[in-house]
A and B are shown apart, each in its own frame.
Chain A
Amino acid sequence: DIVMTQTPLSLSVTPGQPASISCKSSQSLLHSDGKTYLYWYLQKPGQSPQLLIYEVSSRFSGVPDRFSGSGSGTDFTLKISRVEAEDVGVYYCMQGIHLPHTFGQGTKLEIK
């Protein structure tokens, strides 16, 4: 199975400041079709997960442009340019290139 490793596991950020989460995969997520199957999900407190970013850097419908994804191969990053109170929760990366689909351990973002 592909192992997804996120760092840090927790993050405390002042509103208006940036935040960054790293996700590393144990194998390349680049498919022969040219796409890289890396996804970011956010689980807000008491809620179900929601899709933020797909295929490394494409923001899902309705996701604010302060969220951005980058990376290639095995190294990926989710960045929030200016954290807002509504961004609290646990962020998960997920790989979709091989079964079983695997998630990172999660990164908990809290507001200072």
Chain B
Amino acid sequence: EVQLVESGGGLVQPGGSLRLSCAASGFTFSSYWMHWVRQAPGKGLVWVSRINSDGSSTSYADSVKGRFTISRDNAKNTLYLQMNSLRAEDTAVYYCARGRLRFDPWGQGTLVTVSS
């Protein structure tokens, strides 16, 4: 079964850091582009970042550029999102998703709360 499982969310103070992980199973992880998409409480979906299959190319939304870093370890079948200088407006459920443009599947999400 193709599966994505996020972890690493939690409560962090403004200005703090967190690293999210997305563990992939059931498919050849190294063959797929991967994305992070977030959803603030009660709000819609917002694309955050993407990485190509070998990790050589990354892209970011302007709102996180310079603060967030997407990476992957194909040997460990894991996607990461390093989040620094966190702000209250980064509070959201963060989903990882597989695929270049057809996002499927999505993980169950991990909640990041930025608050003092």
Asked whether, in the complex, the Cβ of A39 is within 8 Å of the Cβ of B101, the reply is: yes
Chain A residues lying within 8 Å of B85, measured Cβ to Cβ, are none
State in angstroms the CA–CA spacing of A54 and B100 once bound together: 12
CB distance from B101 to the nearest CB of A (A): 4
Q: Is the CB of B95 within 8 A of A101?
A: no
Contact call A96/B101, Cβ cutoff below 8 A: yes
Asked whether, in the complex, the Cβ of A39 is within 8 Å of the Cβ of B102, the reply is yes
In contact, A60 and B102 (Cβ under 8 angstroms): yes
B106 proximity list for chain A (CB < 8 A) = 48-50
> What CA separation (Å) do A103 and B48 show in the bound complex?
12
Residues of B within 8 A of A90 (CB): 44
Closest Cβ of chain B to A30, distance in Å, is 14
Does B31 interact with chain A (Cβ within 8 Å)? no
Within 8 A of B (CB), among A36-94: 37, 39, 41, 43, 48-51, 54, 60, 90, 92, 94
Question: What residues make up the interface of A, taking CB atoms closer than 8 Å to B?
Answer: 37, 39, 41, 43, 48-51, 54, 60, 90, 92, 94, 96, 99-106
Known: A48-B95, A106-B44. A37 touches B101 (CB 8 A): yes
**Which residues, 74 to 116 on B, are CB-close (under 8 Å) to A?**
95, 97, 101-109
- Which of B46, B62, B97, B104 has the largest count of A CB atoms less than 10 A from its CB? B104
- Which of B45, B101, B107 sits near A103, CB closer than 8 Å? B45
A-B contacts besides A48-B109, A101-B50, 13 pairs, CB < 8 Å: A41-B45, A41-B103, A48-B106, A48-B107, A50-B105, A51-B103, A54-B101, A92-B44, A92-B45, A94-B45, A101-B101, A103-B44, A104-B44
Give A107 to B61 CA distance when docked, in angstroms: 23
CB under 8 Å from chain A, chain B span 28-59: 35, 37, 44-47, 50, 59
Contact B44 A105 (CB under 8 A): yes
